[in-house]
Amino acid sequence: MSTIERLRELVARTIEHDPHDFEGFLWAAMPQAEWCAILDFSPATLRRLISQPPFVRNCARVSGRKMTLVREGEPGPTTARQLTNIMASIWRKRFGRSVGRNHYGCLIGLAESWPDGHELEIFKRVLDNWPAFMVGVKGMIALEGGNGKERYLEHPSITVMRRFHKVGVELYVMQLQEQGKFSTQLQAKFLPLIA
């Protein structure tokens, strides 16, 4: 039996006898070390195999233990949690530090607040154009009647991005307009968010 056939059989058997329901799908769930021990795979081989079709992989904490989730099929729609993990990874690569629990919650809020399909682009543009974002924040505070502490932050702040998430959308829209990429379809999607 080939390595893929062995993996498929283990996934099917595990889902049949002990499925884990996560994000609307049934998964085979066990710690990575357990997958490797049962299949006699190295962690690198396991990751390589479950990272390509017909498999879909994920990770989650189940009863306090980190589990590798595997199923066969098509990937589901990208969730706010997946987007948050990608944003946290971008943050870690750019600034060399991990995102804490409170900031992770703020990133989830950003993923849920920003327009579907544009969350990562908005996040990257805010990070790349922090001074312009802070100008927008200052303007927003002035519009609110000055009920905010006006100060200029030199470095990106996740909590500031979350509080002023509309400024991130405005910055993104302005840059799309400058590039001539702001279509009528995008106007209908974005303008209600910043009005």
How many domains would you assign to the chain?
2
pLDDT digits (tens, 9 = 90+) for 123-171: 999 999 999 999 999 888 877 766 556 666 788 999 999 999 999 999 9
- Residue from 122, 132, 125, 28 nearest 71 by CA: 28
Assess whether 135 and 170 both reside in one domain: yes
Give the CATH number for residue 26: 3.30.56
112 with 33, same domain?
A: no
Q: How confident is the model over 27-79, as pLDDT tens digits?
A: 999 999 999 999 999 999 999 999 999 999 998 888 889 999 999 999 888 88
Cα–Cα distance measured from residue 52 to residue 143, given in angstroms and rounded to the nearest whole number: 49
- Could you tell me if 169 and 138 lie in one domain? yes
Q: What predicted TM-score, i.e. pTM, was given to this entire model?
A: 0.73
Q: Which range marks the domain in which residue 43 is found?
A: 3-72
